[in-house]
Amino acid sequence: MISLETFVALRNYVKGKIDAHQLMDADKLFDSIKEDYRNPAESIIRIDFRNKEDLLKTLGLADDDIYFYFDVTSPYNSYEFIDHYSAIEEFKDGYGFYNYLDEENKYTLSQISRAILPKKVDFGDDEFLQELSAVLLQNFKRETEDIIDDYAAEKNYQMNREAYKVVEKELKDYTDSLGFEVTDTGLRISVGQLIHLYLMENAIHIPLKKLLEKVFESDKQYFGWSDDIYEYANDDDFDSVSFNKYAGRILDNILDRIVDAGEELGVDINDFTAMTARIEKKFKAGEWYFLPKDKTKQTRFKVEGFEFPNMKISVLLQKGLKEKKVSLSEQNFYNLLYQPSLFSLDEI
């Protein structure tokens, strides 16, 4: 249907033939106008839609982009970048909250690790972290999942804030490039720019809504905001203080439970850490050494870790291509080093 009313009204307003009230009556999308009395073409018209969804659809956004936009900009809901299941799987793979622990909590976790995992503590070793994750989930499932859930909540909060900034900026850049300013449920544009759009699109015969659909359809935009969610991860904005405060309380509780369990068996955690310090002063965990009294240099050993509350040292022996793992008290560990004849090394 041909309708010159909107375009003609815009031209007549610029020429001073009609006033602002008459211009507003020319199209149902016209909401208000901020007049420039000296230069009517610079007057700013507010174009209003029924709601934000109607606006975004008119702008030509894909459905996926619209859904994502509302998820990250709505005050009533948020996009779940990391759910409980994926956070657990990430932790099992040796990732997740490990990289966000402060030095104090890493120290506490290293003490826990020494007590529950007979292996050298190395937060840079993926295999170690995977084994530590498995043992933590096996022995302290509720506490560990509480830390994981808090980490996921903090990550989701951070990523939602980052995504909010990205979608608002990219939407603004897009509409700015076409001469529009986005408002809550509408657009702003000068009268002169709107006339220019009508002429550029050769569409002076259609109402404003049809013109906008034509403009944005010809430049249809797919932002793909949900295609790569990890682009919204920004560690600088992650609330590590809040997370570490929460994680620290739980890690302290886990360590207290381990200490209490040891005391029930008559083992002091301080005696255990003192033993590990004595051993590691001479023999670093994870490193190979020849048995000091093995003149043939055929048998090597490495300390793999320590066992609490058993007060044992986990040792891997290697002779040629054969290996054998043994669990030894501190005294028997020294016997192995300096009296290897007491052991059946030929059976390795």
Question: Within 13 Å and on the Cβ side, how many CA atoms surround 75?
Answer: 0
Identify whether the C-beta of residue 288 lies closer than 8 Å to the C-beta of residue 302: yes
Identify whether the C-beta of residue 183 lies closer than 8 Å to the C-beta of residue 168: no
pTM: 0.74
Side by side, the strands of the sheet bearing 312-319 are 289-290, 299-307, 312-319, 322-328
Q: What angle do CA 126, 131, 137 make, to 5 degrees?
A: 125
- Phi and psi torsions of 290, nearest 5°: -80, 145
DSSP string computed for 16-46: TSS-HHHHHTT-TTEEEEE--SS-GGGPEEE
Which residues of the chain are modeled with pLDDT < 50? 1-2
In sequence order, the 6+-apart residues with CB closer than 8 A to the CB of 229 are 81, 159
Question: What CA dihedral angle connects 259, 263, 269 and 275, to 10 degrees?
Answer: -150
Nearest Cα residue to 67 out of 77, 152, 161: 77
In sequence order, the 6+-apart residues with CB closer than 8 A to the CB of 304 are 118, 119, 120, 285, 286, 314, 315, 316, 325
3-state SS class at 313:
strand
- Phi and psi torsions of 300, nearest 5°: -115, 160
Q: Is the dihedral of CA 17, 21, 24, 27 positive or negative?
A: negative
Identify whether the C-beta of residue 46 lies closer than 8 Å to the C-beta of residue 31: yes
- DSSP lists the bridge partners of residue 186 as 48
**The token pair that represents 46 in the structure block:** 């507010």
Preceding omega of 292 cis (within 30 degrees of 0): no
Q: What angle do CA 275, 277, 280 make, to 5 degrees?
A: 110
- DSSP lists the bridge partners of residue 46 as 32, 188
CA 147 to chain centre: 15
Nearest Cα residue to 166 out of 289, 23, 65, 53: 65
| Helix ranges (DSSP H) in 95-235 | 103-116, 126-139, 141-177, 191-200, 208-218
How far apart are alpha carbons 184 and 70 in whole angstroms? 12
> What is the pLDDT at residue 103?
97
How far apart are alpha carbons 212 and 179 in whole angstroms? 12
60-76, pLDDT tens digit by residue? Answer: 888 999 999 999 998 87
